[in-house]
Amino acid sequence: MLKRAWKTLLITSIVTLLPIPVGLVLWNRLPDVMATHFGTNNEANGFSSKPFAVFFIPLFCLAMLWICAVITANDPRKKNISPKIFRLVLWIIPVVSLICGVAVYTYNLGHPLDISSFMMILMGILFILIGNYMPKTRQNYTIGIKVPWALDNEENWNRTHRLAGYLWVAGGIILVILSLAGLTNPLLLIGVVLFFTLVPAIYSWWLHAGKGL
């Protein structure tokens, strides 16, 4: 799988590291101690050295990208993971790296930024993208609702992920709407994510219990 996707992996690796050259260009304008973590009030509550912010964060994202790629490529049922799904997995971390870079650099250059809304919209878009592919995923141990009863029964897996696809797209749209409306309370965000994650798992168990199959 990695051999077939080496071009995508190369491109995503480069994209993941793009915040580094941008940080070098902005180096003299960035403070020596940079805000790298933010609270729900958009105020910085975590700080790091400039080298850490510019170099370590993208490099950490790169390591996570390769770990996800290797784990997915070595899934016991990797033949069930379509190339489209694998490419989607590879692109998630580079996009997160870019957005984190934009958020951190923008804030530290003195420009106000609604971090909470920014990240909530990102999560909503990811939910929509992943939800769109959910019904197309086949049984595997890496991507999807990986409860035991879904992994043991193909019909259960298919019906669970059909429902999950609709719910995740709806959840993503709701997150974007809430963000645009200024409702970025972390408890509300956690509640939405848990609801649209747990419902498919509960539905899968319900099918397993013989209620729907």
Other CB atoms within 10 Å distance of the CB of residue 65: 24
Q: Which residues contact 175 (CB under 8 A, 6 or more apart)?
A: 120, 121, 123, 124, 127, 189, 192
Q: Which residues contact 136 (CB under 8 A, 6 or more apart)?
A: 82, 84, 85
Flag whether pLDDT at 2 surpasses 70. Answer: no
For residue 46, list its beta bridge partners. 37
- Residue of higher predicted confidence among 31 and 142: 31
- Say whether 58 sits in a helix, a strand or coil: helix
**So what's the pLDDT on residue 160?**
95
Quickly tell me which residue has 């995508």 as its tokens: 8
**So what's the pLDDT on residue 52?**
94
Query: Could you read off the pLDDT of 56-91 as tens digits, one per residue?
Result: 999 999 999 999 998 888 888 878 777 888 888 889
Flag whether pLDDT at 1 surpasses 70. Answer: no
Q: How far apart are CA 153 and CA 205, in angstroms?
A: 11
Q: How far apart are CA 28 and CA 48, in angstroms?
A: 16
Distance of CA 58 to the CA centre of its chain: 15
- Geometric angle at alpha carbon 152, from 147 and 156, rounded to 5°: 75
Contact 138, 157 (CB under 8 A): yes
Contact 145, 160 (CB under 8 A): yes
Flag whether pLDDT at 13 surpasses 90. Answer: yes
Q: What is the pTM of this model?
A: 0.81
